[in-house]
């Protein structure tokens, strides 16, 4: 059975969570395999604390807390699910750290030191959305996160491109997917085609 660990990445407001749900349903219906949809920060107590109390951290402290949550997520969810033959689809993973912690002023190299333990996914799909669509989505949110307040969709898209290049140089399978004129179902089908 082929290992299938897919990570969905992209700027805040790009539609990652919607796509994870769409892709999970598509994979489940076409393959018959159990799909574990997950996210980072994880749903663990540490992940919930990171999401709720992001302002309580210094930039380096936040990067280390996210890396610790990732280690628990890998050991407690991702690896056991893959070993059971399940498909794992994650909303965010290492590329998010390589983007968001840079917004906090850390270098790619430092962030990678904290995350180099993380196994590469089978496929990392970085969504490239229409910046105006993302801006409208963010404007509609009642509360913005620390990172949404400190950046723009264009800046995050640029940093995701740099993170993709960095990870490709390390052997990661990273693809950029233009989602500006595609429905979540169409994007999910394009991602699934990488496994055909």
| Cα angle: 187, vertex 192, 193; to 5 degrees | 95
Q: Is 11 annotated as a binding residue?
A: yes
What b/e readout covers 152-181, taking b as 16+ CB neighbours within 10 angstroms?
A: ebeebbebbeebbebbeeeebebebbebee
Q: Is 85 annotated as a binding residue?
A: no
Q: Is 14 annotated as a binding residue?
A: yes
Q: Is 59 annotated as a binding residue?
A: no
Q: Is 75 annotated as a binding residue?
A: no
Q: Is 15 annotated as a binding residue?
A: yes
CA terminus-to-terminus distance, the chain: 13
Residues 6+ apart with CB under 8 A from 116: none
Question: Residues annotated in the binding site, as ranges?
Answer: 10-17
Question: Residues annotated in the binding site for ATP, as ranges?
Answer: 10-17
């Amino acid at each position: 059975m082929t290992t299938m660990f897919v990570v969905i990445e992209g700027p805040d407001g790009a539609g990652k969570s919607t796509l994870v749900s769409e892709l999970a349903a598509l994979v489940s219906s076409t393959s018959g395999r159990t799909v574990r949809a997950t996210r980072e920060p994880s749903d663990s107590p540490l992940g919930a604390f990171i999401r709720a109390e992001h302002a309580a951290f210094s930039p380096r402290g936040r990067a280390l807390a996210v890396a610790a949550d990732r280690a628990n997520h890998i050991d407690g969810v991702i690896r056991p699910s893959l070993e059971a033959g399940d498909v794992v689809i994650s909303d965010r993973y290492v590329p998010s750290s390589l983007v968001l912690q840079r917004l906090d002023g850390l270098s790619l190299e430092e962030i990678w030191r904290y995350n180099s333990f993380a196994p590469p996914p089978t496929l990392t799909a970085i969504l490239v959305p229409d910046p105006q669509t993302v801006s409208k989505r963010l404007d509609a949110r009642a509360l913005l996160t620390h990172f949404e307040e400190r950046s723009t969709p264009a800046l995050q898209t640029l940093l995701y491109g740099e993170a993709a290049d960095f990870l490709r140089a390390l052997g990661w399978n990273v693809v950029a997917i233009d989602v500006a004129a595609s429905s979540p179902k169409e994007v999910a089908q394009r991602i699934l085609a990488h496994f055909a």
